[in-house]
Structure 1
Amino acid sequence: MDGDALAKARALEERMRTRARRGEDAAPTIGPAEDGGQNDTDSGRTATTVAVRRKSARMLSDERHRQLDFFTADFVDVPQKNDRHSMEHPLFSLKKRPDTTIRVYEHNNVEITITPSVLGLATIWDKDLLIYATSQLVQGINEGRTDVTNRTVRFTAYDYFVSTNRGTSGAEYESLERTLERLKGTQIKTNIATGGERRKRGFGMIEDWEIVERGRDGRMVAVEITLSKWLYNAVQALEVLTINKQYFRLTGGLEKRLYELARKHCGNQACWAVSEEILFKKSGSTGTLREFRRLVKEIVQADCLPDYRAAYDAKARRVIFYTRDMRRLTAAALKTVGSS
């Protein structure tokens, strides 16, 4: 090998090492620009050049799409999903003012203790954030996304506001930060099984949260929340129900809660009748039964629940929820008449 060829081979090898250190994808090839005009068939190709070529062929290219350690919530206008366990049992405050009372709930072998932080219990309006995250994850599962294996969900504040019928003013951004604090601060201890796993465990409604980016005006842009294992197990097992998007337009806490209960218990049935005492207990209302009865009558009169109507039976002291779908209602009535 003459001196020039050896120098060129060494220079090429050094360039390759430099590129590998910098993490560049492309393995260099030897062409006219790098070998002084000699091609692979030239008799001047040297053993050193061949060795360099073989080494480059075995080098790994950079990983272009690294598996992220969070799920990106980027679906638009997806079906809204609510976990059926929190629809069944009262985990959230129905009041917007801070509630720092420890709650204990027991029903049909289910035990729940809910302990607020100094900021108060997470509210049923705070729960909208969990519904949003659950809906995004379920859509990801349905579409075969690989990042649904992460409990951490990254989303933009604006997308969340739009999806849950909120405004986009500065006040909403401040409210979201308080929501995150209440969801993390509220601790739940329960024996409710999710994903087929029953353990008595304590957890926050979210495990952690972080504002990842802020805009030039200081408002949060991207947010990350890590769901509790309890909720994530329910999502992975698809222990969820689709809810009407009009749910987010309900302004009262009790209205939102009654819709959840009607959706959970009616299911595919045309109606659901429940005593006012049981409904009072399941609602999580902290007022008196008499006050609860008055509010329920007002909601019945307003006829504002999506998908369902309600009637109050004063004689039997019960509430009947029934579907707005007249075909289902008529079919159920005919079935009842036929079986009598």
Structure 2
Amino acid sequence: MSEDRQQFIQDNARPGETWKEASARLGSDKKAARRRSTLAPERHTQRDFFIADILDASPKDDLGSMEHPLFALKAGDTRMRTYERNGVTVKVMPGHGGCATIHDKDVWIYCISQLVEAMNRGREDDIGPVVRFTAYDFLVTTNRDTSGRAYQRMGDALSRLRSTTIETNIEVDGYRERRGFGLVDSWRVVERGKDNRMVAVEVRLPEWLWRSVKARHVLTLSRDYFRLRKPLDRRIYELARKHCGQQPRWRVGLRALYEKSGSADTLRKFRAAIKVLAEANALPDYRLAFDQEDDAVTFYSRGGKGGKAQLADLMNVRPLKNAHGDK
């Protein structure tokens, strides 16, 4: 039995239920199985005291990349992608290793989180486009394993971030200009261990992203974001966090959501994936409901107002005033 399966049974066993009974019940529950496949287990429940300061920094993401699909949803994607919506154009050009993926974006999120935390604490010496950190801290914070292979994957991610090029006219801090940039300007290994494994890493963020962070054009993410296994689930969470936020609900047409996601799948496959995600009900912070008749998706905040909004919709009560849609 896999480690993930064992942990899932342990977490979901009912009081007084034997291991065998819990295993049989959960094994026949399709929704539970889908939920298990959506969220990875927490790998580092016992965290190192010496990196507590790093882990206290809430995950932060920038608004521009949450709104627009800068990152690929499939590894090895070598297509040149162009996205246009509401006057914004984004052209993504792959490097030799293909486009940087949404899992590679964890480096961005980690760096943004550390910069915002430094700004909040007034640590001026730690604020700038160059971020230095230890590879181990990054792996633990983003819920990755700390095997030798994990360090190699981190190096591969940094390479893809450096070689992927973006051309866009996204507005940042009141300025709209067309510019091109790599997803990181540069990176280097500052220190290696005795086994030649990277220990400390330095990353220089692109000016576009640094300007966005300085203007605090960022949103806090759930820590469970890093537990989402599937790239599409991560992208859908980003869009829900950006558009729904703390509102009770956000309704969007499926085609509009498909375009915003940057998915390379057909619309039919995308629709099927959204149905699976809705049924699993494992998206952090939000529940989503698929309306087959209107071919639309509604995201509900998991807070009290979101529950009331969902109940009102089920009873066909007129939507709340502050709810809005994007067809």
> Could you tell me which residue of structure 2 aligns to residue 4 of structure 1?
none
Describe the superposition over 1:36-78 as per-residue Cα deviations: whole angstroms up to 9, x where unpaired. xxxxxxxxxxxxxxxxxxxxxxxxxxxxxxxxxxxxx963321
Q: Tell me, in whole angstroms, the C-alpha distance in 1 between the residues paired with 2:274 and 2:309.
A: 27
Q: Tell me, in whole angstroms, the C-alpha distance in 1 between the residues paired with 2:320 and 2:174.
A: 38
Secondary structure of residue in 2 paired with 1:78: coil
Q: Tell me, in whole angstroms, the C-alpha distance in 1 between the residues paired with 2:62 and 2:246.
A: 17
Q: Give the superposition deviation at 1:326.
A: 2.3
Alignment of 1:7-156 (within 5 A): 75-96=54-75, 98-156=76-134
Highest RCO, 1 vs 2 (Cα 8 Å, sep ≥ 6): 2
Q: Give the superposition deviation at 1:193.
A: 1.5
Code of the residue aligned with 1:157 in structure 2: it is A
User: What are structure 1's unaligned runs of at least 5 residues?
Assistant: 1-72
Q: Tell me, in whole angstroms, the C-alpha distance in 1 between the residues paired with 2:258 and 2:197.
A: 40
The alignment status of 1:234 with 2:207, answered yes or no, reads no
Q: Tell me, in whole angstroms, the C-alpha distance in 1 between the residues paired with 2:189 and 2:319.
A: 58
Describe the superposition over 1:8-47 as per-residue Cα deviations: whole angstroms up to 9, x where unpaired. xxxxxxxxxxxxxxxxxxxxxxxxxxxxxxxxxxxxxxxx
Describe the superposition over 1:265-285 as per-residue Cα deviations: whole angstroms up to 9, x where unpaired. 001211111111100000010
Q: Tell me, in whole angstroms, the C-alpha distance in 1 between the residues paired with 2:103 and 2:283.
A: 16
Of structures 1 and 2, the larger Rg is shown by 1
Secondary structure of residue in 1 paired with 2:69: coil
Q: Which residue of 264, 268, 292 corresponds with 1:314?
A: 292
Q: Give the superposition deviation at 1:287.
A: 1.0
**Distance 1:337-1:243 versus aligned 2 partners, 3 A rule:** closer
> Could you tell me which residue of structure 1 aligns to residue 20 of structure 2?
none
Q: Give the superposition deviation at 1:329.
A: 3.6
Describe the superposition over 1:291-335 as per-residue Cα deviations: whole angstroms up to 9, x where unpaired. 111111111111110010111101001011111112454279789
Code of the residue aligned with 1:288 in structure 2: it is T
Secondary structure of residue in 2 paired with 1:311: strand
The alignment status of 1:293 with 2:258, answered yes or no, reads no
Q: Tell me, in whole angstroms, the C-alpha distance in 1 between the residues paired with 2:284 and 2:130.
A: 31
In 2, are the aligned partners of 1:74 and 1:155 still within 8 Å (CA)? no
User: What are structure 2's unaligned runs of at least 5 residues?
Assistant: 1-51, 322-327
In 1, are the aligned partners of 2:131 and 2:203 still within 8 Å (CA)? yes
> Could you tell me which residue of structure 2 aligns to residue 210 of structure 1?
188
TM-score, normalization by structure 2: 0.78
Q: Tell me, in whole angstroms, the C-alpha distance in 2 between the residues paired with 1:258 and 1:189.
A: 23
Tell me the matched-pair count: 266
Secondary structure of residue in 2 paired with 1:267: coil
Code of the residue aligned with 1:134 in structure 2: it is I
